[in-house]
Amino acid sequence: MTPRPRVLVVQHEDDCPVAMIEPWLADVGLDCDVLAAHRGRAVPAHLVDHAGLIVLGGRMGAGDEARHRWLGPTKALIATVAAGGMPFLGVCLGHQLAAAALGGQVRPHAGPTRALHPLGATPEGLRDALLGGLGDGPEVLHWNDDVVVRAPAGATVLARTPDGAVQALRLGPRAWGVQFHPEVTGAVVRGWAADRDLSAQEEQVVGELERRTPELHRGWARLVRTFGRTVLGAGVPAGMGQSP
- Which residues does the annotation mark as catalytic? 92, 181, 183
| CA torsion, ordered 218, 224, 230, 234, to nearest 10 deg | -150
Q: What does the radius of gyration of the chain's CA atoms come to, in whole angstroms?
A: 17
The CA distance from 118 to 170, in Å, is 18
Instruction: Measure the N-to-C terminal CA separation of the chain; round to a whole number of Å.
Output: 19
Helices (H), 167-212: 186-191, 200-211
Stretch (H or E) spanning 141: strand 139-150
Burial class (CB in 10 A: 0-12, 13-18, 19+), 220: buried
Q: In angstroms, rounded to a whole number, what is the distance separating the alpha carbons of residues 39 and 70?
A: 10
Q: How far apart are CA 218 and CA 194, in angstroms?
A: 27
Cα(130)–Cα(54) distance, integer angstroms: 14
